[in-house]
Amino acid sequence: MSEDKQFFGQHLFICMNQRDDGRECCAERGAHAAQKHLKARVKELGLSRSGAVRVNQSGCLGRCEEGPVIVIYPQGTWYTYVDNEDLDEIIDVHLVGGKVVERLKI
């Protein structure tokens, strides 16, 4: 294994699913803007550079009716969000602080 290969301690998967059949989907609930915000904020905090956090786009995570949705591994914690303040709370409390944001957990 290469020594310069970097691995991340936490992976945040944000559902970016777009359904064409009229059913609810995360893409229609602002997932693309949320993903951009998450990436920018994680970068701003230096978490991506340090190898602490990776923000990943995901296809359907199967919970669009509860969405938009995010899941964080290795914890396996599922969240929903409404706005950037919710996303910032997930970053600050969960990713940085190591605690679950109970009010956003699904």
The structural domains of the chain, with segments of one domain joined by +, span 15-99
Residuewise pLDDT in 10s, the chain (106 residues):
444 455 789 999 999 988 888 778 888 898 999 999 999 999 999 998 777 899 999 998 988 888 899 999 999 999 999 999 999 999 999 999 999 999 999 9
Distance CA 77, CA 46 (A): 22
CATH code: domain 15-99 is 3.40.30.10
100 contact partners, CB below 8 Å, separation of at least 6: 77, 93, 94
The answer to whether 28 and 18 are in contact (CB under 8 A) is: yes
**Confidence (pTM):** 0.88
| Structure tokens, 48 | 């991506």
pLDDT confidence of residue 6? 57
> Taking the chain, what is the end-to-end CA distance rounded to the nearest angstrom?
37
- pLDDT for 62 equals 86
Please state whether beta strands 53-58 and 69-73 pair in parallel, antiparallel, or not at all (unpaired). Answer: unpaired
